[in-house]
């Protein structure tokens, strides 16, 4: 790891001021991706601004319509939250499947979506549930937030403060785990919002994406059979030593079908 | 530029001047000379560096020492009784031959204690799922699972 300067931010304003002063500084959330990337020298920020002690960024609130989760809330906290389990069990389940226990004890919602790893789980929840990302400057719709591989709509100096998840009628997340890294080879979130159906896929492509054809079919009839014969094209999907693009395309259909089954239970 | 870091490790307050980039595991091993916490993969996959921070198991190789500023840390050296009597989880690992080379064992034991705190009466399935983040390349896990199932009620009775 290259040397850097480190400081703890007192609050969001203080963190934003730090970013304004040094445009190359990086925010440190749980660090479960950032520290690993810095160790490999894939990332070498000259300054880290640690959000770890900002209590206003942590916590879970549910008002019966939305579950609002602070950006620095750890995966283990979301997975164990009785509020989340009651309102959106699919979200608690998704959080419980991220990495392993130790990673979930450090990793945060805000860190995960700001990083936007193509195989991360949370982007599927944010897009699948049609959440709204709140920052220190504005609110961003899920559909406009994730831009591409490791790329988001966040401007320089913008800090995620919370994510608001509308409570769906029913939803489920199914993930085919890459067993060594525990990232999603393919993960599919299916949500019936009551008004429409959303299907979000992570792990398969360079960035989370929706499958409109599946959404329309499930909108007509919310049943596993509705998606069983819908294939996504393998063109542009990820292909690596773990799985070919063809296999990932196949898994999208299988995971979507299983997610619908789980949502109906 | 060195920075000062302070925390409580195994009940003792410690502090040192470290480089900002010092990983928690290096602080524990090289500054405190507590070498029971191991560095296996160094990529946050194997779990050999697992320690307890404020009651939660975390991977000490994947975080900065500064992230543990003010925290309460427990390492493998801090779990036996003052007179040297092994912690029931350590004793169960010995009893069930849950280790061969022993490299993964410190992290495995810390994870196991964390696991039975959250699941005082775990099923075999829960134990296997919860050990997701700890790799053992010798035992094939069977005896580790047996040890944890055996120790669970004893660890639960400790509190």
| DSSP secondary structure string for all residues of B66-102 | GGGTT-EEE-GGGSS-TTSPPPHHHHHHHHTT--SS-
B81 lies in some domain: no
Residue B159, pLDDT above cutoff 70 = no
Q: Does A4 touch chain B (CB under 8 A)?
A: yes
Same domain, B94 and B59: no
Domain boundary among B48, B76, B104: B76
Same domain, B72 and B110: no
**Once rounded to an integer, what is the mean pLDDT over residues B13-32?**
97
Q: How many Cβ pairs closer than 8 A exist between chain A and B?
A: 76
State how many domains chain B has: 2
Q: Does A52 touch chain B (CB under 8 A)?
A: yes
Q: Least CB-CB distance to B20: which of A5, A31, A99? A: A5
Instruction: Supply the range of the domain harboring residue A194.
Output: 170-264
Same domain, A123 and A161: yes
Contact at CB, A102 and B45, closer than 8 angstroms: no
- Taking the CA of residue B29 and the nearest CA in chain A, the distance in Å comes to 18
Domain boundary among A107, A131, A166: A166
Per CB-CB distance under 8 Å, the chain B contacts of A181 are 45
Q: Least CB-CB distance to A101: which of B43, B53, B57? A: B57
- Taking the CA of residue A106 and the nearest CA in chain B, the distance in Å comes to 7
Contact at CB, B1 and A5, closer than 8 angstroms: yes
Same domain, B50 and B97: no
Domain with residue B12: its CATH number is 3.10.20.30
Mean pLDDT of chain A, nearest integer: 97
**Once rounded to an integer, what is the mean pLDDT over residues B78-92?**
96
Contacts of B21 (CB under 8 A, 6+ apart): A1, A2, A3, A4, A38, B64
- How far is A164 from B97, CA to CA, in rounded Å? 48
Same domain, A145 and A245: no
Residue of B nearest to A30 (CA): B63
Residue A181, pLDDT above cutoff 90 = no
Same domain, A130 and A62: yes
Domain with residue A30: its CATH number is 3.30.465.10
Same domain, A82 and A189: no
Domain with residue B128: its CATH number is 1.10.150.120
Q: Does A31 touch chain B (CB under 8 A)?
A: yes
Residue in A190, A193, A191, A131 with CA at minimum distance from that of residue A162: A131
Same domain, A60 and A109: yes
Q: Is the CB of residue A60 less than 8 Å from the CB of residue A67?
A: yes
Same domain, A235 and A116: no
Specify the 3-state DSSP secondary structure of B118.
Answer: helix
Same domain, A31 and A155: yes
A27 phi and psi, to 5 degrees? -80, 140
B82 lies in some domain: no
pLDDT value at residue A180: 81
What part of A 149-178 touches B (C-beta under 8 Å)? none
Q: Does A23 touch chain B (CB under 8 A)?
A: no
Same domain, A17 and A141: yes
Q: Does A46 touch chain B (CB under 8 A)?
A: no
Same domain, A196 and A111: no
pLDDT digits (tens, 9 = 90+) for A79-138: 999 999 999 999 999 999 999 999 999 999 999 999 999 999 999 999 999 999 999 999
Same domain, B67 and B114: no
Contact at CB, B59 and A103, closer than 8 angstroms: yes
Domain boundary among A148, A166, A184: A166
Per CB-CB distance under 8 Å, the chain A contacts of B4 are none
pLDDT band at A186 (very low <50, low <70, confident <90, very high): very high
What is the distance of C-alpha B44 from the center of its chain?
13
Conformational region of residue A225, where left means phi above 0, alpha means psi within -120 to 50, and beta covers everything else:
alpha
HSE, CB side, 13 Å, CA atoms: give it for residue B144. 29
Same domain, B31 and B51: yes
Residue B1, pLDDT above cutoff 80 = no
Domain boundary among A137, A166, A195: A166
Residue in A103, A105, A108, A138 with CA at minimum distance from that of residue A122: A108
Domain boundary among B31, B53, B76: B76
Residue A253 tokens, joined: 């259909």
Per CB-CB distance under 8 Å, the chain B contacts of A103 are 44, 59, 62, 133
**Once rounded to an integer, what is the mean pLDDT over residues B45-61?**
97
Q: Does A99 touch chain B (CB under 8 A)?
A: yes
Residue A257: CB atoms within 10 A of its CB come to 22
Q: Is the CB of residue A206 less than 8 Å from the CB of residue A189?
A: no
Paired residues of A199 in beta bridges: A190
Among A100, A115, A180, most B C-beta atoms within 10 A, so best to mutate, is A100
Same domain, B71 and B133: no
- How far is A81 from A67, CA to CA, in rounded Å? 11
Residue B80: CB atoms within 10 A of its CB come to 13
Q: Does A239 touch chain B (CB under 8 A)?
A: no
Instruction: Supply the range of the domain harboring residue B137.
Output: 88-157
Residue in A163, A159, A162 with CA at minimum distance from that of residue A18: A159
Same domain, A144 and A198: no
Among B67, B72, B112, B136, most A C-beta atoms within 10 A, so best to mutate, is B67
pLDDT digits (tens, 9 = 90+) for A135-160: 999 999 999 999 999 999 999 999 99
Q: Least CB-CB distance to A36: which of B44, B69, B134? A: B44
Contact at CB, B59 and A50, closer than 8 angstroms: no
| β-pair type (A132-135, A209-210) | unpaired
State how many domains chain A has: 2
Contacts of B85 (CB under 8 A, 6+ apart): none
Percent over 90 (pLDDT), chain B: 94
- How far is B55 from B36, CA to CA, in rounded Å? 19
Same domain, B96 and B57: no
Same domain, B55 and B17: yes
Q: What is the interface pTM, i.e. ipTM, of the complex? A: 0.96
**Once rounded to an integer, what is the mean pLDDT over residues B47-62?**
98
Same domain, B132 and B95: yes
Same domain, A160 and A174: no
Q: Classify the C-alpha dihedral B86-B87-B88-B94 as positive or negative.
A: negative
Contact at CB, A35 and B62, closer than 8 angstroms: yes
Torsion (CA) A101, A28, A7, A106 in degrees, nearest 10: -10
Domain with residue A233: its CATH number is 3.30.390.50
Residue in A5, A116, B85, A49 with CA at minimum distance from that of residue A125: A116
pLDDT band at A247 (very low <50, low <70, confident <90, very high): very high
- How far is A186 from A193, CA to CA, in rounded Å? 22
B126 lies in some domain: yes
- How far is B49 from B47, CA to CA, in rounded Å? 5
**Once rounded to an integer, what is the mean pLDDT over residues A16-20?**
97
**Once rounded to an integer, what is the mean pLDDT over residues A204-223?**
98
Domain boundary among B12, B41, B76: B76
Residue B156, pLDDT above cutoff 90 = no
- How far is B42 from B48, CA to CA, in rounded Å? 9
Contact at CB, B62 and A106, closer than 8 angstroms: yes
Same domain, B14 and B68: yes
Same domain, A140 and A216: no
Same domain, B11 and B49: yes
Contact at CB, B56 and A76, closer than 8 angstroms: yes
Same domain, B60 and B117: no
């Amino acid at each position: 790891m290259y040397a850097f300067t480190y400081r703890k931010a007192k609050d969001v304003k203080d963190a934003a001021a730090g970013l304004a002063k040094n445009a190359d500084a990086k925010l440190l959330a749980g660090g479960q991706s950032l520290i690993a990337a810095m160790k490999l020298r894939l990332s070498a920020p000259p300054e880290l601004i640690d959000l770890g002690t900002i209590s206003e960024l942590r916590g879970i609130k549910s008002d019966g319509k939305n579950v609002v989760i602070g950006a620095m809330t750890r995966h283990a906290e979301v997975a164990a939250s009785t509020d989340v389990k009651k309102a959106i069990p699919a979200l608690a389940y998704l959080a419980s499947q991220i990495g392993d226990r130790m990673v979930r004890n450090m990793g945060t919602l805000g860190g995960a979506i700001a990083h936007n790893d193509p195989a991360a789980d949370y982007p599927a929840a944010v897009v699948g549930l049609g959440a709204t990302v709140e920052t220190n400057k504005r609110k961003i719709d899920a559909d406009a937030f994730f831009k591409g591989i490791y790329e988001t709509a966040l401007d320089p100096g913008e800090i995620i403060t919370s994510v608001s998840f509308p409570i769906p009628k029913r939803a489920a997340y199914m993930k085919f785990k890459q067993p060594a890294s525990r990232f999603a080879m393919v993960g599919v979130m299916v949500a019936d919002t009551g008004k429409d159906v959303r299907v979000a896929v992570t792990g398969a492509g360079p960035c989370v994406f929706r499958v409109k054809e599946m959404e329309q079919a499930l909108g007509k009839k919310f049943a596993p059979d509705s998606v069983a014969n819908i294939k996504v094209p393998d063109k542009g999907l990820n292909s690596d030593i773990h799985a070919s693009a063809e296999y990932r395309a196949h898994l999208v259909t299988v995971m979507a079908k299983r997610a619908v089954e789980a949502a109906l239970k | 530029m060195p920075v000062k870091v302070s925390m409580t490790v195994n009940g003792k307050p410690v502090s040192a001047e470290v480089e900002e980039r010092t990983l928690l595991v290096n602080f524990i091993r090289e500054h405190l000379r507590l070498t029971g916490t191991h560095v296996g993969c160094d990529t946050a996959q194997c779990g050999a560096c697992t320690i307890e921070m404020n009651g939660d198991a975390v991977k000490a190789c994947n975080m900065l020492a500064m992230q543990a500023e003010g925290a309460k840390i427990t390492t493998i050296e801090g779990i036996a009784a003052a007179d040297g009597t092994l912690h029931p989880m350590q004793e169960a690992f010995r009893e069930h031959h849950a280790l061969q080379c022993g490299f993964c064992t410190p992290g495995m034991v810390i994870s196991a204690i964390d696991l039975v705190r959250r699941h005082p009466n775990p099923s075999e399935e829960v134990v296997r799922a919860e050990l997701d983040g700890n790799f053992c390349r010798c035992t094939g896990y069977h005896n580790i699972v047996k040890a944890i199932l055996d120790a669970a009620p004893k660890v639960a009775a400790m509190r």
